[in-house]
């Protein structure tokens, strides 16, 4: 019996899909990348913005023909759109037989077996749990060299624009012992880099479901794992970034000098309406403190343009922060209405052309900054963790792709296979979104 998994969205979805694949393989199912051959397909979806949500419908539609030819074929829809639309998918697509949210994910492998035994059954797993639903422990024989480990699920912040608290439920921290066991096992099996994942990792342990461990404590303990070379975490909320965690950037050798710290906007007025609970000044203070703790630290961020009521003046505040902080990179989005959020109900929506124009200006500025930052690295020596062999090969050498300490993608040529290695590299060129290096 063969299956495919299609994943949209954030790293949490990627990590969830990886678990799903391992768990199904353990039950004897075979993963295939050729959807044509699959007996069932699982879609792990994202609804954080409008565009990725629309993609889900066209993806499911693609399988209609396949189902008409083979009526036992079925699709399962999970993740944020799965949670949000739920059984609505059953009405729209006769071949969708399973819908699940992230809290229901842990039950999916069992339910797939049930669906195969009962061909007319349809199953929905949409209830929110009031604890972190631990999953069956399945680890690959050989772990990827860089792995993700979930430390929590859900979010309590209810930022005005965000659908996540509705699709992933309340924040539920995972017990420290579970996180540590998973991290240790993955390192024993070859992982060298761990990224701790959560919607708002800085408030790990601050909810009533966890065991009371703080995020700083968790970082300290994970950092002690023998054999671990690099530690990262994402995503952070500026309001919950503690001084203790900031100091750890200067204390823990394995903690990489890079932080993704979503700003969203630079205007205090809009930050307030968004419910972000920090000001531009507080954000800039955090950046300064982080730079004091770890002078070479680099930053990336998320930005939204055209939030309801955003004026040209507000927007300029965002541009100003970009210039002050000089992020290495920024993921920028036009505001889009998400069902059920406070912002959806706001009146003074910004016209599409204005949003588009602001996005272009913002991205042009960021590109300049990124180029400036990347050019400063040319000629420098650094350590790159090689993750994959590149798809495109050519010439006499092999081509590889890895990341440096600052999470920048580096492409490297080498005459020998350097996969999974930490290699000393000299940076020779800055491309638009990556660097080129040669092995020393």
Binding site per annotation, positions for [4Fe-4S] cluster = 10, 46, 80, 155, 159, 162
**CB nearer to ligand SF4: pick between 170 and 426:** 170
Structure tokens at 43: 């879609």
- How far apart (Å, rounded) are the C-alpha atoms in residues 22 and 72? 23
Let me know how long the chain is.
440
User: Which residue in the shown chain puts its C-beta closest to ligand 5AD?
Assistant: 302
* 155 lines the binding site for ligand SF4 (CB under 6 A): yes
* Shortest Å distance, C-beta 171 to ligand SF4: 9
* 49 lines the binding site for ligand SF4 (CB under 6 A): no
Using the structure block, give the residue that is written with the tokens 């531009």: 280
**CB nearer to ligand SF4: pick between 84 and 124:** 84
| DSSP assignments along 321-336, one per residue | HHHHH--SEEEEEE--
Nearest residue to 93 via CA among 74, 115, 69: 74
* 162 lines the binding site for ligand SF4 (CB under 6 A): yes
Q: Which stretch binds ligand SF4 (CB under 6 A): 132-140, 155-163, 247-255, 365-373?
A: 155-163
* Shortest Å distance, C-beta 239 to ligand 5AD: 13
CB neighbourhood size of 304 (10 A)? 26
Judge contact between 68 and 46, C-beta under 8 A.
no
* 200 lines the binding site for ligand SF4 (CB under 6 A): yes
**CB nearer to ligand SF4: pick between 95 and 215:** 215
* Shortest Å distance, C-beta 267 to ligand SF4: 16
**CB nearer to ligand SF4: pick between 118 and 158:** 158
- How far apart (Å, rounded) are the C-alpha atoms in residues 53 and 99? 15
The entry of ligand SF4, ligand 5AD, none near residue 336 (CB within 5 to 8 angstroms by kind) is ligand 5AD
Where along the sequence are the contacts to ligand 5AD (CB under 6 A)?
48-49, 161-162, 262, 264, 302, 304, 333, 335-336, 338
Using the structure block, give the residue that is written with the tokens 């972190």: 132
Q: What are the start-end ranges of the H helices in 127-267?
A: 164-167, 176-188, 215-223, 243-251
* Shortest Å distance, C-beta 182 to ligand 5AD: 24
The entry of ligand SF4, ligand 5AD, none near residue 79 (CB within 5 to 8 angstroms by kind) is none
Query: How far separated are the first and last CA of the chain, in Å rounded?
Result: 47
H or E stretch including 381?
strand 381-389
């Amino acid at each position: 019996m063969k299956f495919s998994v299609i994943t949209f969205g954030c790293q949490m979805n990627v990590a969830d899909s990886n678990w799903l694949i391992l768990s199904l393989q353990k039950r004897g199912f075979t993963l295939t990348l050729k959807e044509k051959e699959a007996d069932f397909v699982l879609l792990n979806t994202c609804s954080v913005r409008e565009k990725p949500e629309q993609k889900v419908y066209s993806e499911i539609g693609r399988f209609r023909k396949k189902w008409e030819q083979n009526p036992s074929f079925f699709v399962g829809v999970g993740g944020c759109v799965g949670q949000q639309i739920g059984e609505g998918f059953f009405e729209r697509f006769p071949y969708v037989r399973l819908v699940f949210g992230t809290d229901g994910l842990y039950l999916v492998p069992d339910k797939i077996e049930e669906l195969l035994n009962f061909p007319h059954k349809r199953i929905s797993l949409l209830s929110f749990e009031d604890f972190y639903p631990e999953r069956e422990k399945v680890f690959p024989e050989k772990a990827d060299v860089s792995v993700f480990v979930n430390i929590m699920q859900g979010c309590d912040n209810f930022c005005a624009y965000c659908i996540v608290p509705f699709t992933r439920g309340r924040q539920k921290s995972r017990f420290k012992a579970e996180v540590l066991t998973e991290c240790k096992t993955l390192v024993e099996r070859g992982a060298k880099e761990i990224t701790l994942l959560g919607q708002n990792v800085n408030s790990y342990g601050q909810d009533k479901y966890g065991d009371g461990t703080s995020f700083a404590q968790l970082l300290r303990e994970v950092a002690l794992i023998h054999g671990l070379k690099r530690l990262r975490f994402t995503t952070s909320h500026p309001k919950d970034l503690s001084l203790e965690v900031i100091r750890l950037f200067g204390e823990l050798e394995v903690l990489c000098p890079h932080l993704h710290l979503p700003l969203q906007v630079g205007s205090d007025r809009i930050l307030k309406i968004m419910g972000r609970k920090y000001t531009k000044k507080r954000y800039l203070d955090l950046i300064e403190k982080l730079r004091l703790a770890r002078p070479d630290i680099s930053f990336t961020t998320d930005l939204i343009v055209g939030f309801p009521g955003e004026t040209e003046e507000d927007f300029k505040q965002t541009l100003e922060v970009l210039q002050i902080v000089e992020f290495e990179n920024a993921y920028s989005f036009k505001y889009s209405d998400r069902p059920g959020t406070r912002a959806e109900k706001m009146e003074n929506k910004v016209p599409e052309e204005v949003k588009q124009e602001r996005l272009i200006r913002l991205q042009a500025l960021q590109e300049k900054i990124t180029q400036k930052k990347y050019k400063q690295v040319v000629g420098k020596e650094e350590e790159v963790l090689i993750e994959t062999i590149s798809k495109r090969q050519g010439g006499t050498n092999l081509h590889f792709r890895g990341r440096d300490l600052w999470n920048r993608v580096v492409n490297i040529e080498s005459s020998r296979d350097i996969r999974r290695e930490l290699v000393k590299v000299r940076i020779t060129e800055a491309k638009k979104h990556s660097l080129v290096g040669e092995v020393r």
